[in-house]
Amino acid sequence: MARKSDLPFGSEFSPSQIDLRRALELADEHGGDWRRFEAEVRTAWFEGHATSEYNRNKLANNTKLGMIAYGIIERDAELTELGRELLALSDDENALHDRLARHILLNLHGMTMVGCIQDMEKAGDPVNLTTLREALAERSIHYPRGGKHPSMMRLWLAKAGVFVGSRWRTDEERIEEILGLNVEQFGELGELSPLQRTFLRALANTGTREPQPANEIAQLATATYGEKFPEKSLPKLVLHGLEDAGYIETTKTTAGRGAKPFLVAPTEKLVADVVEPLLKQLESQTDPKLVALLRRPLPEILADLSSTDKHVAGLALEALAFKLMRLLDMNYVATRLRGTQTGGAEVDLIFESARLVFTRWQIQCKNTARVSLDDVAKEVGLKNFLKSNAIVVVTTGTVGAEARRFANKTMAESNLAIVMLDGTDLNTIAERPARIVRVFRREARHAMTLKTLEP
């Protein structure tokens, strides 16, 4: 049995062949009677495009199947909820194509395809249907050999300005505008200062509702986004305005000596305006149960790792990797091996970042007592294939001495960075999420020592 395509079938459902507004109107008029709908589609666009009645019928049928695959109509040609939403926007062509593009990007693996194309172009690799099919397969996205599925998606996305100029060149600003994933586009957030927006994004990345030291959130924001926060005037320049806007709640600590840092906690408004949109982009890329798990605090995820249910433990392990890398605002790319495939004991994921320079991170999480040399060697062996800059090995147990020595030797002799997090680190981060900065800085200093250049 042939494997089902992960990208939607789109033959003849293309802006170069049909008018989307008219197709929506025909579905609205004849929904429930798919034969009549196909006949009207054939009359509207294909009467002069095929030499035989059979071919004309086939083209009309393909259009219907494409609209079904894109989630616009049901099997009987009735408009879906998305279809009705598109119909309501049909008088505004820009809004219509933007809404369809958002659906493609979030729900039809469009973002995965766009990210794959961007990586290929950065690497200087040619982008065509053959090479793209191979590159997407590396990200576990399949479509039939010889299929034009990406081309149809590209044409619809181009109508919204996602693809511009040359055939496969993307406009990242348009993608952010369409998805609303740029914090500057989140309603009232656009009125905040850059420092305030960055602070909120870092707070949202911690994924916890518990109060946290404001100075640690500022340190996380600095490490993640490069923003420099004024230590003494943090309340005046950042915190008070965010509290007045309803995004955070602050309390003053009383313990300890010297100046007392504020504790900050996110409000429901911050969760709705920032956290949920960031989670929304993952819904089309991974298991919905995983997305639900990401809404839970890190200590609960760590607790699930000891579950006797292998599926629960496997999802928790994957959620752990997501939580850690989301703390640093890395972008999810793909899962190579899920914890459920290894009895809940291992998961391998890939994340990327384009801040200042492009980096690709391999993440291996192990729910085992000890990380061995072989575990690290496997990841190092995949580095060239995945074109990675960094490897993060996370274990709920300990890192073996041989594994650490092998990682040290590899780092000393190459440009690769290998970060090791053990069970103690995880407990520290679970208690104070922003402390991940200290853990990564420790590993960075260690790598820097190993890579010291000879005079």
* pTM of structure: 0.57
What's the chain's average pLDDT? Answer: 84
Q: Tens digits of per-residue pLDDT, 269-307?
A: 888 777 776 666 566 556 666 677 777 788 888 888 888
- When pLDDT is averaged across residues 73-90 and rounded to a whole number, the result is 93
Q: What is the Cα Rg of the chain in Å?
A: 25
Residues near 407 by beta carbon (within 8 Å), at least 6 away in sequence: 376, 393, 418, 420
Give one DSSP letter per residue of 46-87, joined into a string. ITTS-SSHHHHHHHHHHHHHHHHHTTSB-TTS-B-HHHHHHH
Q: How far, in Å, CA of 261 to CA of 218, rounded?
A: 11
Q: Which of 206, 232, 121, 111 is nearest to 168 (CA)?
A: 121
Least confident of 248-252, 275-279, 429-433: 275-279
Distances from the Cα of 259 to the Cα of 199, 217, 255, angstroms? 20, 17, 10
- Which residue type occupies 248? I
Q: Tens digits of per-residue pLDDT, 202-246?
A: 888 888 888 999 999 999 988 888 888 887 889 889 999 999 988
Cβ atoms within 10 Å, residue 137: 13
User: pLDDT class for 187, splitting at 50, 70, 90?
Assistant: very low
Residues near 174 by beta carbon (within 8 Å), at least 6 away in sequence: 160, 161, 162, 164
Percentage of the chain surpassing pLDDT 90?
Answer: 35
Q: Tens digits of per-residue pLDDT, 149-160?
A: 999 999 999 999
Q: Which of 115, 107, 111 is nearest to 85 (CA)?
A: 107
pLDDT at 408: 94
Residue 447: phi and psi, rounded to 5, are -65, -40
Asked if residue 2 has pLDDT above 70, the reply is no
Asked if residue 255 has pLDDT above 60, the reply is no
